[in-house]
């Protein structure tokens, strides 16, 4: 397949880098050095968090990875033969420099005809859940990762690659300090996990008034908040149903967990209005990335019904209207965009390819194939114009 030319610039809202082994440890203070270790298990390198080996990412070195778009046919046509994930992935490949550093990535983006990209880390998604009982450690590891990201990729590389530093909120003052630091170093977007915030006294919603000083600062900085699919901790609830204690294993088939796959993002978006943050800060700009859009319609229908019965629970303000004002969604290619546009309008839809992950598109321009029924100006908004507006670039 060859990348096609399109009559508008492409700004991909969902690209990924693969971290190096020192990404979490290079800038980690000595007192925390043993919290993250790489260990050998039967000849394979694994990551251990506080002495516990994680299988969440099977090969955390990323020296060998699944090919970009390896699962495209699976998502489009299903899996009638019941193949394993390994069979669906097919032959793996060695990670190329373009997955590891920005100069080579720009050259690859030129080949793929992608003008700009929002760049997310990959390994970072395992951090917060596996340290949820140690807020100070979370902040230390997150800052170490952000320092590595700044050194290796920058937060704004040649005004084409916009890397998203991670912000975790367990300790409010530290979260605000981290936010100010990444903005001072050029960040245009931040990555916040779609999950309850860990804390010294247990988890709680990021949208409670306790966190208002943080969201106030986000609005002052006029920075985009990206909430990318991650390990949101829901495997703990699934495990109770299954009588197990396994961590989230995204590359192993589990039918029960697949049924509940989008519950974290539904709860995340519901929390924004049920706990009031979107009413208190209507200027917030939020992007829901790599979670598709199928969950949105039933959530809005439920919120409409709850608002009808209990408007006082939302301070007499319409939760659906608040979501439609602030939330932007990147649908999966196989879902199409028609229903999403009907729900939130074309200005709230973002193109994201998930490149170079196997769940994404091998050719990001292929996303435009599902937009041909739209006017060119609407295609241009979805394929990059909306994200450029959100980032102010």
Q: How far apart are CA 323 and CA 330, in angstroms?
A: 15
Q: Which residues of 115-132 are buried (b: 16+ CB within 10 A; e: fewer)?
A: bbbbbbbbbbbbbbbbbb
Q: Which residues of 175-210 are buried (b: 16+ CB within 10 A; e: fewer)?
A: bbebbebbbeeebbbbbbbbbbbbbeeeebbbbeee
CB 120 within 8 A of CB 14: yes
User: When comparing pLDDT for 76 and 48, which is higher?
Assistant: 48
User: When comparing pLDDT for 255 and 147, which is higher?
Assistant: 147
Token pair 């208002």 is at which residue?
212
Q: How far apart are CA 74 and CA 360, in angstroms?
A: 11
Mean pLDDT value of segment 78-83: 88
pLDDT for 1 beyond 60: no
Confidence grade of residue 88 (pLDDT, cut at 50, 70, 90): confident
User: When comparing pLDDT for 252 and 260, which is higher?
Assistant: 260
Token pair 């245009």 is at which residue?
188
In terms of Cβ atoms closer than 10 Å to its own Cβ (0-12, 13-18, 19+), residue 59 is middle
DSSP label of 117:
E
pLDDT for 250 beyond 80: no
Angle made by CA atoms 94, 98, 101, in degrees to the nearest 5:
115
Minimal CA–CA distance to 265: which of 310, 223, 234, 303?
Answer: 234
Confidence grade of residue 27 (pLDDT, cut at 50, 70, 90): very high
Residue 235 is predicted with a pLDDT of 83
pLDDT for 15 beyond 50: yes
CB 169 within 8 A of CB 199: no
Residue 236 is predicted with a pLDDT of 84
User: When comparing pLDDT for 4 and 197, which is higher?
Assistant: 197
Q: How far apart are CA 211 and CA 206, in angstroms?
A: 6
Do strands 161-163 and 11-16 pair parallel, antiparallel, or not at all (unpaired)?
A: unpaired
Mean pLDDT value of segment 263-268: 95
Token pair 């609407």 is at which residue?
378
Among 80-94, 107-121, 178-192, 284-298, which is the least confidently predicted range? Answer: 80-94
pLDDT for 318 beyond 90: yes
Q: What is the pLDDT of residues 130-175, one digit of tens each?
A: 999 999 999 999 999 999 999 999 999 999 999 999 999 999 999 9
Mean pLDDT value of segment 309-323: 97
Confidence grade of residue 120 (pLDDT, cut at 50, 70, 90): very high
């Amino acid at each position: 397949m060859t990348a096609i030319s399109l009559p508008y610039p492409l700004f991909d809202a969902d690209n990924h880098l693969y971290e190096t082994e020192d990404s979490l440890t290079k800038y980690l203070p000595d007192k925390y050095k043993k919290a993250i270790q790489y260990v050998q298990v039967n000849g394979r390198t694994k990551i251990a968090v506080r002495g516990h080996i994680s299988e969440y990412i099977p090969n955390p070195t990323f020296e060998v990875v699944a090919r970009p778009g390896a699962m495209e046919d699976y998502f489009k046509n299903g899996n009638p033969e019941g193949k394993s994930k390994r069979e669906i992935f097919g032959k793996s490949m060695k990670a190329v420099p373009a997955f590891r550093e920005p100069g080579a990535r720009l050259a690859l983006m030129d080949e793929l005809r992608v003008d700009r990209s929002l760049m997310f880390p990959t390994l970072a998604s395992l951090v917060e859940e596996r340290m949820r009982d140690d807020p100070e450690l979370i902040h230390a590891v997150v800052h170490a990762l952000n320092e590595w990201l700044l050194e290796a990729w920058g937060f704004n590389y040649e005004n084409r690659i916009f890397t998203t530093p991670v912000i975790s909120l367990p300790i409010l003052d530290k979260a605000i300090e981290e936010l100010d630091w990444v903005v001072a170093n050029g960040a245009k977007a931040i990555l916040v996990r779609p999950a309850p915030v860990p804390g010294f006294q247990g988890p709680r919603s990021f949208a409670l008034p306790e966190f208002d000083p943080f969201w106030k600062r986000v609005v002052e900085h006029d920075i985009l908040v990206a909430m990318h699919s991650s390990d949101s901790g829901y495997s703990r609830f699934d495990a109770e149903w299954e009588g197990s204690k396994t961590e989230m294993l995204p590359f192993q088939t589990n039918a029960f967990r697949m049924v509940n796959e989008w519950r974290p993002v539904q709860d995340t978006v519901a929390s924004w209005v049920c706990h009031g943050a979107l009413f208190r800060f209507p200027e917030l700009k939020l992007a829901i990335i790599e979670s598709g859009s199928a969950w949105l319609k039933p959530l809005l229908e439920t919120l409409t019904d709850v608002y009808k019965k209990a408007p006082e629970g939302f301070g007499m303000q319409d939760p659906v209207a608040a979501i439609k004002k602030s939330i932007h969604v990147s649908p999966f290619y196989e879902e199409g965009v028609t229903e999403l546009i009907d729900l939130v309008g074309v200005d709230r839809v973002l193109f994201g390819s998930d490149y170079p992950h196997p769940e994404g598109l091998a050719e990001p321009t292929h996303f435009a194939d599902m937009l041909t029924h739209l006017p060119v100006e609407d295609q241009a908004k979805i394929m990059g114009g909306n994200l450029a507006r959100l980032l102010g670039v």
